[in-house]
Structure 1
Amino acid sequence: MKIAVIGLGVLGAAAARALALAGSEVTVFERTAPLAGTSGTSFAWTNSHSKDPRSYHDLNVAGMAEHAELAKSGADWLVRNGNLEWAQDAAGAERLAASVAELTGRDYPVEWITPDRARELVPDLRVPGEVRDIAFYPTEGHVFPALLVARLWGEAREHGAELRCPAEVLAVSEADGRARVELAGGAADFDAVVVATGRWTETLTAAAGYRVPMADPDAAGSATVGLLGYTRPLATRLDRVLTTPDLNVRPDGAGRLIVQGLDLDAHADPAAPPSAGGDHARTLCSRLNDLLAGTEGASLESLRVGQRAIPADGLTVAGFLGDSGRIYALATHSGITLGPLLGRLAAQEVLTGTPADALADFRPQRLIGRSGLPPLEPARFAGQQ
């Protein structure tokens, strides 16, 4: 089959790889550059926290397993050595205990450890004196998105996939039993098209006549936006994810860290990105010093406003837009965790027409044409983002 994939973030690269491995003739259209959208500004934590309903939790667990399976043949993009989380007040402790109990009931790997055990895992960790119990999630981890896309797209390319970039797709449509991709310089027909355009999903699906509403990616202080700080190299020992009341942190390679304070996201505005030397940056660096020894004098190389790609009801979209089986849409807030899995399942459905049971609750038909959906609540506690 001759298949077009629109977008070369994690989802597009994963779909292109799976389609190419199955023998399809794959053409990827990317407007600006690989990773130019949400995939390039992500905390990139693989997990299944606060993922409800249960089918969404299970989908994310399967996404984590897909990463592990892919990693059997080498995994420079994936670090899978756990996440540490604690609470600092009574309300937080109650919320964390409830979350751990729910995850335990779902057979999700989690255990309570002591601060001493936490410092064995992270030698430079500074645990507040009042903290006695720390949740450890051993199967969670983090991803280096550029390396993941390099792996996925590299294998797609080795199996014949071609990239057209820069190439802005103006519309997709169904015509004469084919899927048509319209560009400024003309149009091309394919057997099917996979739309993997992240926060631009609504515009392109509307042009196809099947508008899938997305949460506004430009709304300041909303659930879709968040601040991500990227530090200069630091002499601190951290090799895993930390999700704490004031700061989320993960390694970003070569001694650099990515830092995130969810309460500060209320000030995130894509139209007015903050300075890497401003008040928000200083706050993040101060919190980092409270959390990890060896971060004295930390500063940020950049402070970015991430714009999340979130379908309007907060859940993943995966499926054909119409009955013809020509235009397939992928959109999700959990693109890093779910990317390799969704790419494989989308390829399966496009090429065989056989529905994947895991995607039954996430079809775009639940959202197509809907309007007036309530705004999503911003993430303010670890696990909600």
Structure 2
Amino acid sequence: MHVVVIGAGVIGLSVATELARRGASVTVVEQEAPGVGTSATSFAWVNANNKEPRDYYELNLAGLEAHHRLARDADGGWLVAGGHLEIATELAHRDELGQRVTRLRNLGYDVELISPARARQLAPDLIIPVDAGPIAYFAREAHCYPQLYLGFLLATAADLGVQVIGGARVTSFHLDSDQPAVRLADGAVIGGDQFVSCVGRWTETLLARADVTLPMATFERAGDATVGYLAVTNPLPLSLARLITTSRLNVRPDGAGRLLLQALDLDSTADPRDVPTTDSGLAGEFLNRLTSVLRNTGAAAITQLRVGQRAIPADGRTVAGPLPSAPRLYVVATHSGVTLAPLLGTLVAEEILGAPQPLLAAFRPDRLLDGAVRHRPLPARRPGQQ
């Protein structure tokens, strides 16, 4: 079987490598270069922490465990399995965190409430306000360096004989002929037995070229749910080996002493067409918040300020499955791309090769194809959410 995978982010390359492991001939086509889309602008928190409803939680939990297995078996440096500390300092966050911990414990999720002393053992430079509420420790959670994961996938793909073609934009599908194929912008035609769309936030645009409407949440105005700031600091002399979330700032290591910062309430001005400079008031606010969360950050500077754009199906839930009107075209689209990438690579490969996967049964594209869901407003994100 020859499979053409469209999109070379973490999902597309995970699918491609798992198909190749199972004996398929695989070609990956990418409109730009591997990993320059959504994969490059993710906070990359690997978790099932605030994922609802139950079937989405179960999918993300399986994704978290798939990351751990793959990183262990491949000795992967992309996954930092240091866990996650969450501190609530605002009243609404305290109440929400307490309720969430109870719910997750009832589900058997690995979470415990810990003392300030224990929190300082886990993060020696953490500043804990005297009036802080509950402190939760999610020991199994992790964070990922997406570019390192992509590097592993590209090396694996090369070893398995996967052909990766960059600068290849798909302009049309020809799926009903005796020789199914996609046509590229340069006029080239690539044939295959099966085609897999893994293009993230470009899913709706791509599928329109196959006369299919599958709605994705699209950027409409500054601060909507599809966009968010990420700030990168200079290297700093501090002790931090795990992800920290608070009521006002999320922070994780970003390699070589750098930190990656996220503050969901600041996203209200995020606009990919107008990214503030690294010496802007916004950058200054990130730094002010950082110094209130971690010691030894007085010399911090923002070296990069990005606006990430999220891939979110219109109802907020993962899409994975073949299109009823074009069964040769399998579609994958999800907000939880980094968490789910290794798992979806395996599950999608198995389905394409003929073995249905129960974990994906609730996430078929059919639910979005009948016009019932058209860019439904997404719920506001809560403290501790990605």
Tell me if both proteins adopt one fold, taking TM over 0.5 as the criterion. yes
Structure 2 vs 1, CA of residues 379 and 357 (structure 1 numbering), >3 Å: closer, same or farther? same
Instruction: Give the C-alpha shift of residue 377 in structure 1.
Output: 2.7
What letter corresponds to residue 97 of structure 1 in structure 2?
A: G
What is aligned with 1:80? Answer: 81
Three-state SS of the structure 1 residue aligned to 2:353 is: helix
1:74-223 alignment to 2 at 5 Å?
74-131=75-132, 133-184=134-185, 185-217=187-219, 219-223=221-225
Alpha-carbon distance in structure 2 between the residues aligned to 1:178 and 1:83:
50
Runs of 4+ in 1 over 4 A off after TM superposition: none
- What is the one-letter code of the residue matched to 1:314? G
Residue identity opposite 1:51 in structure 2: K
In terms of mean alpha carbon deviation, does 124-133 or 39-48 score higher? Answer: 124-133
Where 2:299 maps in the other structure, the secondary structure is: coil
Counterpart residue number, 2:34: 34
| TM-superposed deviation, 1:324 | 5.3
Give the match's secondary structure for 2:17. helix
CA–CA distance in structure 1, aligned partners of residues 237 and 174 of structure 2: 53
Question: Residue 171 of structure 1: CA displacement?
Answer: 2.5
Is 1:66 aligned to residue 66 of structure 2? yes
For residue 369 of structure 1, report the CA deviation from its aligned partner: 4.7
Structure 2 residue matching 1:325: 3-state secondary structure:
strand
- Is contact 2:195–2:330 with CA below 8 Å preserved after alignment? yes
Alpha carbons of structure 1 residues 180 and 219: separation in structure 2 relative to 1, 3 Å: farther
Superposition deviation, residue 94 in structure 1 = 1.0
Q: Deviation digits for residues 87-143 of structure 1, max 9, x if unmatched? A: 113322111100101101110010000111100011111011112531000000100
Indicate if the aligned counterparts of 1:210 and 1:369 stay in contact, CA closer than 8 A. Answer: no
| More divergent stretch after superposition (269-278 vs 332-341) | 269-278
Shift of 1:372: 3.5
Indicate if the aligned counterparts of 1:198 and 1:332 stay in contact, CA closer than 8 A: yes
Q: Secondary structure at the match of 1:148?
A: helix
1:66 Cα deviation from its structure 2 partner: 0.5
> Once structures 1 and 2 are overlaid, which stretch shifts more, 374-383 or 253-262?
374-383
**Range moving further from structure 2, 28-37 or 247-256:** 28-37
Most deviating of 186-195 and 372-381: 372-381
Shift of 1:273: 0.9
Find the aligned partners of 2:173 and 2:117 in 1 and give their Cα distance. Answer: 56
Separation in structure 1 between the aligned mates of residue 179 and residue 137 of structure 2, nearest angstrom? 50
Instruction: Tell me how far apart the structure 2 counterparts of residues 260 and 95 of structure 1 sit (CA, whole Å).
Output: 19
For residues 170 and 132 of structure 1, the distance between their equivalents in structure 2, rounded to whole angstroms, comes to 53
- Work out the CA distance in 1 between the residues paired with 2:119 and 2:164: 45
Aligned to 2:246: 244
Aligned partners of 1:241 and 1:250 also within 8 Å: yes
Q: Which amino acid is 1:7 matched to?
A: G
86-95 vs 309-318, which moves further: 86-95
Query: Bigger CA drift: 337-346 or 218-227?
Result: 218-227
User: In 2, are the aligned partners of 1:199 and 1:217 still within 8 Å (CA)?
Assistant: no
Q: In 2, distance between residues paired with 1:108 and 1:172?
A: 43
Shift of the 220–178 alpha-carbon distance from structure 1 to 2, 3 Å rule, reads farther
Q: 2:293 is matched with which residue?
A: 291
Distance between the aligned counterparts of 2:180 and 2:89, measured in 1? 54
Give a deviation string over 1:260-313, Cα, whole Å, max 9, x none.
110000110111111111011110011111111111021111100000000000
Counterpart residue identity of residue 205, structure 1: L
- Please list, as runs of the form range in 1=range in 2, the aligned pairs for 1:308-327 lying within 5 A after superposition: 308-322=310-324, 325-327=327-329
2:254 aligned counterpart, secondary structure: strand
1:281 aligns with: 283
Tell me the SS of whatever aligns to 2:64.
Answer: helix
TM-score normalised to structure 1 length: 0.97
TM-score w.r.t. length of structure 2: 0.96
Q: Which residue of 2 aligns with 1:357?
A: 358
C-alpha RMSD of matched pairs (Å): 1.3
Distance 1:318 1:126, change over 3 A: same
Q: What is the count of residue pairs matched by the alignment?
A: 383
Q: Tell me the amino acid that sits aligned with residue 149 of structure 1.
A: L
Alignment partner, residue 43 of structure 1: 43
Residue deviations 1:202-238, cap 9 Å, x none?
A: 0111211222100013542111100000111111111
Q: Please list the CA deviations of residues 11-57 of structure 1 after superposition, one character each: whole Å capped at 9, or x if unmatched.
A: 01100110111111111111111111110000000111221110000
CA distance in 1, matches of 2:111, 2:311: 28
In structure 2, give the amino acid aligned to 1:238. Answer: L
CA distance in 2, matches of 1:378, 1:224: 11
Looking at structure 2, the residues matched to 90 and 264 of structure 1 have their Cα atoms a distance apart, in angstroms, of 19
1:343-382 per-position Cα deviation (integer Å, ceiling 9, x unaligned)? 1111111112x21100001000100252534221342421
1:168 shift after superposition: 1.0
